[in-house]
Amino acid sequence: MSLKRKIALTLSVSFSLLFGVVLIIIYISFNDFRREEFKDRFVRRLGFTTNFISKSKNFENEAPIFFNENSDNFLLNETILIFNGNKELIYSTIKDQKVTWNKELLTELDKKKDIYNEETVPEVYAALKNINGENYYILTSAYDTNGKSKLEYLKYLLITAFITCTLLIGFFSYYFMGKFLQPLEDLNKEISEVTAHKLTTQIPVEQSNDEISILAKSFNTMIVRLNDVFQSQKDFTASASHEIRTPITRMAFQLENLIKLEQHSPETLSALKQMLKDVYQLSDLTNSLLLLTKFDKENIQTIYEEVRIDEVIFESFDRVQKSYPNLKMDFLISEETQENAFLTISGVQSLLDIVFINLLKNAAVYSDNADVKILITENETHLSVDVFSEGNTISEEEQPKLFEAFMRGNNSQNISGSGLGLRIVKRILEYHNANIQYNSPSENMNKFSVIFNK
């Protein structure tokens, strides 16, 4: 989940919880107000009834007339039960029905004097009044339909407001978080363009002291330091390769002269030839490293030139054959190749020479018969070069690591090598926006496919 969504979700949930608590408090407060207001109406009604009883000379006969004349002051579906001091019912507004009451309530009135119960339906208010020296138990019940309907309507409004506000706050949170975090997204895009081969890029910094500007400044400082480290590494590699190349050249020259002498035993001659091969290999490795330090992946395209891939292959073959005279090459062009194909790509020939020298040298060293077959295929989208050789194949477990530095498979046992050749090949092809793949189409058949995008 993105940071923008996390912040928007956190704000929405926090607001929803807080707003929900506020709405619940409003609902509870209104319900308390409704209850107190309805209780006050009970109390006023009870006072009205008490006043009538105190002034009435013949209560039992006057009560029906009085309550009938004052029916407009009744609560909704109001029921009044009046008991004398002996808890005998002396008046009831219920007509044509059996009158029932809670005797425990009358007993409880002796202790509490008045009781209000909103849990029952209808609600009940009872009081013990001493009128003209006599005790009267007055029980009143009624439905607060008006208050309950207002409470239900309020609940509907609060729920609607909660849902609406939650949706709105979610939308606006996401929208404004997008606006606030846009500079951070822009910074992320700028950072994503910085690679190990493009460390001179500086992130634009706005003239402000906010956290994003501070982060951009810190990142630029880090990039400068990393660039210094990489440049120092490249300078060291170039200097070391240049310094090593001179003694290697001398060693190769001296070994070539020793081999030309005819006074060596067969064992000594074989050892000298093996040493010469190792020196040639070391020379090729230092030359490759020296060339790589001269180019930068981001700027290499400025020195691209049109290179005929067939000429590169034949030139590489000639150079490898000097060290491996038994190497033979079968050069083929696929039937799928267009008739007007020029077999050209854009690149640096000196680097492409290293690619195919390494592939042909591997074919010479690891194949069973020192034969290599080259198959070129060109179409509108790409140009591919397949290099086939017979010999021990690379296991599926080792194939994913084949192009890593210092990787040497089980098929390279008892064969000298640095484990850097294919890694250098892959790096050079990356500079050319190309790719290399390995597979084994059949038993004892190795196939390297170099694919150039056009």
Locate 437 and state its tokens. Answer: 């793949």
The letter for the amino acid at 160 is: T
Locate 367 and state its tokens. Answer: 């194949």
| pLDDT of 74 strictly over 80 | no
**Domains, in order of start, for the chain:** 3-148 (3.30.450), 201-294 (1.10.287.130), 298-453 (3.30.565.10)
Instruction: Determine what percent of the chain is predicted with pLDDT higher than 70.
Output: 85
Cα–Cα distance, 254 to 256 (Å, whole number): 5
Residue entry with tokens 């579906």: 77
CB atoms within 10 A of CB 200: 13
Cα–Cα distance, 149 to 156 (Å, whole number): 11
pLDDT at 26: 93
DSSP type of residue 137 = E
pLDDT at 375: 93
pLDDT at 409: 60
CB atoms within 10 A of CB 335: 6
pLDDT at 226: 79
Residue entry with tokens 């058949």: 445
416: left (phi over 0), alpha (psi -120 to 50) or beta: beta
| pLDDT tens-digit readout, 254-268 | 888 888 877 778 888
Quick one: average pLDDT of 83-101?
A: 77
pLDDT at 159: 92
DSSP type of residue 126 = E
C-alpha of 203 from chain center: 23
- Residue 441 preceded by cis peptide, ω within 30: no
3-class secondary structure, 334:
coil
